[in-house]
Amino acid sequence: MAELRVPVELTAAVWKIEASPGQQVAEGDVLMILESMKMEIPVEAPRAGTVKSILVAEGDEVQEGQIVLLLDA
């Protein structure tokens, strides 16, 4: 399996983490939800795989392009 790095597309706060390490996910599953300017933005799995690790915590501020999750895909 190849390790896939999942980045965020904008500067925001991590509002809620939906996935956990070891969890199987399908392409398009919501991994976490970001909050920016009172809008909720889902971060989706780019392909099916297993969540290897989550690199942020709820409440963290993230920057555009930051890697927030690793998938074994």
**Residue pLDDT, tens place only, 7-66:** 999 999 999 999 999 999 999 999 999 999 999 999 999 999 999 999 999 999 999 999
Show the domains of the chain with their CATH numbers: 3-72 (2.40.50.100)
Taking residue 34's Cβ as centre, other Cβ atoms within 10 Å add up to 22
| pLDDT value of position 60 | 98
Q: Give the largest Cα separation in the chain, rounded.
A: 37
Does residue 1 carry a pLDDT above 90?
A: no
| pLDDT value of position 16 | 98
Q: Which tokens sit at 73? A: 């895909």
Does residue 5 carry a pLDDT above 80?
A: yes
d(CA 67, CA 54): 9
| pLDDT value of position 71 | 97
DSSP label at residue 56: -
d(CA 38, CA 30): 18
